Structure formats: C-alpha cells, structure tokens
Amino acid sequence: MADACWWRGAVIYQIYPRSFLDTNGDGVGDLPGIIERLDYVAGLGVDAIWIAPFFKSPMADFGYDIA
C-alpha cells in the first residue's frame, strides 16, 4: 500500500511538447523530440514525467478537451 502513494514525494517534470524540441523543422515540438531528450530528463533526477496535451482541441479546457 505504501507504493500506492509514491507520487507524494516524487519529482514530476511536466513537458509541454509544442515547445520542448522540434525534430522535423516545422517550428513545433513533437513526440520524437521528447523521446530524443529522455536521457536529459532522466539526468535531472525526476521520478515521472507529465506530458501536457498535444492533440487537436478546441482549447475550451486548456487542451484537455479533445475534439
């Protein structure tokens, strides 16, 4: 049961894909950019990552509402 609350003392690093790393040169960050820099994020000593919404959205709820 103690493992169920691991997040209470964890360092969680949020990644906003759109501005994290652009790997295809279109000016917008992408999932391959996140994957390419996972070693960097791990080196920060984080316990988990939170990837912000990156799918098409009407932005009525900051991207958490999908269209």
Mean pLDDT computed over 20-28? 95
Question: Model confidence over 33-60: pLDDT tens digits?
Answer: 999 999 999 999 999 999 988 777 777 7
* pLDDT value, residue 2: 64
Between 26 and 2, where is the model more confident?
A: 26
Mapping DSSP onto H, E and C, the string for the chain reads: CHHHHHHHHCCEEEECHHHHCCCCCCCCCCHHHHHHCHHHHHHCCCCEEEECCCCCCCCCCCCCCCC
